[in-house]
């Protein structure tokens, strides 16, 4: 087995999207490699780095990926935009799954897919990103392995995106679809009301179309906890007395 082959481990996020097995992860909104290390004792499958609303710089992405890799956790990330330059920057730091926000058409999804996958599936730029800094014996095999081990999630966050959801889900290379419920609610005329009946009905209809295209909705296989909720829940349990008063 070559060094290149040994460096690849199956991406459990991509595998679970195909098999619908349940996987568990943490959504990080700020750089915290130590939190990844601490939480690794829970046998997490993935860590979700929020590059759109979180506070991640390039070096933060790399540090998070290093911590995740050390503990066998797959790092995925929501990118702030779908441009090739942005997606390449995230992938070259070691991110193994890209979540693309605010997609409203199949053409927009294809644009992102082109940046994620090497040829013949896409046109991703190759520059020797981590963790493959050593010599690669078989470059065509390496690029094919990269394609097989990167996951892609598409986010639907507007009424226009809902209209195109079946076409988007049917695209080769899209592994799963998720909904940005707050932005979607705003787009549908109900800002701050993601639980509004109109929003819920629209999401349920779209989820059916996604599944009919052979793809899962994120909730079909992902169990995801937001780090802010984890911290607050733990602090309340440890620091608040039964009476509701802090110690």
The strand order across the sheet containing 23-28 reads 176-179, 151-156, 97-100, 74-78, 46-50, 23-28, 222-226
Per-residue pLDDT tens over the stretch 188-234? 999 999 999 999 999 999 999 999 999 999 999 999 999 999 999 99
Per-residue pLDDT tens over the stretch 51-82? 999 999 999 999 999 999 999 999 999 999 99
Per-residue pLDDT tens over the stretch 169-201? 999 999 999 999 999 999 999 999 999 999 999
User: Which is it for strands 222-226 and 23-28: parallel, antiparallel or unpaired?
Assistant: parallel
Which distant-in-sequence residues (6+ apart) come within 8 Å of 239 by Cβ?
246, 247
Question: Has this prediction a pTM greater than 0.85?
Answer: yes
Counting Cα atoms < 13 Å in the Cβ hemisphere of 136 gives 21
Q: What percent of the chain has pLDDT over 70?
A: 92
Mean of the per-residue pLDDT values for the chain?
92
pLDDT at 160 over 80: yes
The CA-based angle 104-105-111, given to 5 degrees, is 105
> What domains appear along the chain, each with residue ranges and CATH number?
3-239 (3.20.20.60)
pLDDT at 26 over 60: yes
Averaged pLDDT for residues 15-38: 96
Q: Can you give the pLDDT at residue 133? A: 61
DSSP 41: G
């Amino acid at each position: 087995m070559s060094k290149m082959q040994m460096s690849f481990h199956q991406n459990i996020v991509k595998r679970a999207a195909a098999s619908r097995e349940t996987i568990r992860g943490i959504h990080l909104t700020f750089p915290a490699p130590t939190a990844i290390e601490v939480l690794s004792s829970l046998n997490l499958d993935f860590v979700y780095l929020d590059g759109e609303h979180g506070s991640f710089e390039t070096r933060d992405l790399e540090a998070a990926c290093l911590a995740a890799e050390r503990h066998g956790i797959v790092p995925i990330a929501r990118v702030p935009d779908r441009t090739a330059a942005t997606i390449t920057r995230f992938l070259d730091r070691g991110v193994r799954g890209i979540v693309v926000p605010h997609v409203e058409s199949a053409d927009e999804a294809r644009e992102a897919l082109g940046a994620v996958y090497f040829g013949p599936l896409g046109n991703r730029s190759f520059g020797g990103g981590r963790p493959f800094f050593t010599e690669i014996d078989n470059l065509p095999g390496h690029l094919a392995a990269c394609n097989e081990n990167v996951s892609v999630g598409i986010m639907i966050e507007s009424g226009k995106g809902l209209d195109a959801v079946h076409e988007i889900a049917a695209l080769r290379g899209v592994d799963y679809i998720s909904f940005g419920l707050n932005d979607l609610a705003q787009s549908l005329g109900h800002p701050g009301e993601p639980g509004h009946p109109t929003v819920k009905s629209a999401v349920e209809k779209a989820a059916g179309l996604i599944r009919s295209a052979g793809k899962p909705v994120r909730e079909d296989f992902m169990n995801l906890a937001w780090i802010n909720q984890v911290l607050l829940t733990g602090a309340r349990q440890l620091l608040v007395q039964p009476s509701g008063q802090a110690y």
